[in-house]
Amino acid sequence: WARNEFSGPESIVNAQSVMLARDGTLYYDLNSYPHTVSAYTPLFYLLETGLIKVGLPAVTAGRLLSFAALLGIFALIWRLLLLYTRDRDCAWTGVLLGASTSLLLTWGTVGQVDTLAIFWALAAFYQYSRYAINGERTLVWAGVFCGIAFFTKQTTIACPAAIVILLWFQRPKAALQFGATLAAAVLALALAINAALNGRFLQDIVLANLNPFDLKKFGLHIRYLFAAAGQLILIAAAGIKRVRYGRGFAPFVYLGMALLVFAATAPKIGSDFNYQIESNVLLVLCACLALNALDFFPLTFRGSKNWITLLQIPLAIHLVVNFRITENLLLTRFATEQLFRTQVAGLAPYAADGGRLLSTDFNAMARLRGYIEVEPLIYKLLAGARVVNPEPLRRDIAAEKFSTIFLFQDVHEHDANLDVEVSTFLPEQTQEIEKHYKLVAQIPGPYLNGIYVYKPASRSAE
């Protein structure tokens, strides 16, 4: 039912996949049009493009991939907990906690790379766990899935780091072989792709991803983590001593690596709560392993008055808090969809001339064109750091080469204090818009004061 974005990056990924399906190009030169950064490694884009090629709308294709990955994560939670505990009550509890965790439900229905990447990483950890616990010959598969996870999202490195650490304390030679082989394979493939694309691959996934940090962002992440998953942290902490010397400690090591990656990436400008998905999945696993180690299930079923049975309280709080968050999310998505539909309908006539469209609104860009001339947030960061030359865009604006411009701001209001994450352009570029374009409409929508529509001053408004 939802034809519009659930998140800004979803529209960007959708548009880039449409461009790949149409033009066969994914990673673009930072200093040429289109000024858009394919910020992730290619697997999700390729899968989404394949579904677009068989007739699915881009927004549907991306969400189907994420939802399938979400179901796969639930299945892997079940299998991992059975593998580590042999306790079906524990496994069912893990599935219930995973299915009720609002963060997983939120991002498992968004057409972005995160959920699929975490699915592959969790699959890799499952294969390692089979090797470590049952002695099965699955370590190679663990490496394969780690590589697939990396080429879905390049920051999915917590799992291979955890596997190397765990192997080091058991079989140092195997740890070195695993780490070196995986690193060599990933590096060789990445360099091959980069060479084939004349350096554009690493420019996009590394250089263009080095966003500035904002400690306020990290504070928001921490507050959300403790509000939505603090109960799981409490349970995991309560049982970590019991788990520490057993085979169930491996997921705690993985959790530690995931939290380190989270701490290193979450403060970036442009980050969202999807940066916490991997940590939340592992908190579900670790909380359930802690409950099992504390004999929570037999004590509870016997009606024991042991303090351990009081852990039912944080479990219940987790369910209630996360269902409430999910309820609010669904209501917000429904209301936002209605506002988006009205807004897109209002914007469509202004973009109907077929001329070049410059838009700071991702949703309008994806819905009305399926093509990105300039991706404003990342472009402004790169141009501000002079990684990208801002002059070509400034000259094109001054020459009125864009038939329509959509902005979140009235360029005549010079005192507008926009948040750093609100998409806009550099001051010298907005000054050219003020000089050479006139405001012809303001279309209400879900964000800020709606979208301001500009047309070239030398032409009559449509």
| C-alpha dihedral, 126 to 81 to 115 to 47, nearest 10° | 50
In this structure, which amino acid lies at residue 339?
L
Give the lowest-confidence range in 69-83, 283-297, 301-315, 371-385.
371-385
The pLDDT of residue 46: 98
* pLDDT band of 421, cuts 50, 70, 90: confident
Residue appearing with tokens 């009235």? 410
Residues 6+ apart with CB under 8 A from 340: 3, 4, 5, 363, 445, 446
The pLDDT of residue 460: 52
What are 35's strand-pairing partners?
374
Q: What DSSP state is assigned to residue 234?
A: H
Query: Between 139-150 and 158-168, two packed helices, what is the crossing angle to 10 degrees?
Result: 150
Other Cβ atoms closer than 10 A to 360:
24
Distance CA 406, CA 365 (A): 9
Residue 424 contacts residue 409 (beta carbons within 8 Å): yes
* pLDDT band of 18, cuts 50, 70, 90: very high
Distance CA 439, CA 406 (A): 10
**Tokens coding 31:** 């200093």
Query: Between 58-85 and 277-293, two packed helices, what is the crossing angle to 10 degrees?
Result: 20
* pLDDT band of 462, cuts 50, 70, 90: very low
Instruction: Reply yes or no on whether the pLDDT at 417 is more than 80.
Output: no
Alpha-carbon separation of residue 31 from 23, 208, 296 (angstroms)? 19, 12, 59
Q: What DSSP state is assigned to residue 5?
A: -
Angle at 267 between CA 359 and CA 385, to 5 degrees: 55
* pLDDT band of 2, cuts 50, 70, 90: confident
Domain boundaries, the chain: 66-331, 341-456
The pLDDT of residue 1: 65
Distance CA 287, CA 249 (A): 11
199 CB burial (10 A radius; 0-12, 13-18, 19+): middle
Instruction: Reply yes or no on whether the pLDDT at 331 is more than 60.
Output: yes
Instruction: Reply yes or no on whether the pLDDT at 207 is more than 80.
Output: yes
Q: What DSSP state is assigned to residue 387?
A: S
pLDDT in tens, 83-103: 999 999 999 999 999 999 999
**Tokens coding 214:** 């904002």
pLDDT in tens, 337-371: 999 999 999 999 999 988 999 999 999 999 998 88
* pLDDT band of 10, cuts 50, 70, 90: very high
The pLDDT of residue 391: 94
Region 442-449: mean pLDDT is 92
73 CB burial (10 A radius; 0-12, 13-18, 19+): buried
The radius of gyration of the chain's CA atoms, rounded to the nearest angstrom, is 24
**Percent of the chain, pLDDT > 70?**
98
Beta strands in 110-176 (DSSP E): none
* Residue 354 zone, left/alpha/beta (φ > 0; ψ -120 to 50; rest): left
Instruction: Reply yes or no on whether the pLDDT at 461 is more than 60.
Output: no
- The CB-side HSE value for 197 (13 A sphere, CA atoms) comes to 22
Distance CA 256, CA 276 (A): 13
Residue 426 contacts residue 378 (beta carbons within 8 Å): no
Instruction: Reply yes or no on whether the pLDDT at 416 is more than 70.
Output: no
Instruction: Reply yes or no on whether the pLDDT at 31 is more than 70.
Output: yes
Other Cβ atoms closer than 10 A to 381:
19
- Mean pLDDT, the chain, rounded, equals 94
Pairing of β 404-407 and β 451-456: antiparallel
The residue with greater pLDDT, 384 or 255, is 255
Distance CA 60, CA 68 (A): 12
Distance CA 206, CA 42 (A): 13
Residue 124 contacts residue 250 (beta carbons within 8 Å): no
pLDDT in tens, 95-134: 999 999 999 999 999 999 999 999 999 999 999 999 999 9
The pLDDT of residue 294: 96
Region 222-243: mean pLDDT is 96
**Which helix (H) or strand (E) segment is 412 a member of?**
none
Side-by-side strand order, sheet with 451-456? 357-359, 404-407, 451-456, 437-443
In this structure, which amino acid lies at residue 277?
I
Does the N-terminal peptide bond of residue 34 adopt cis geometry, omega within 30 degrees of 0? yes
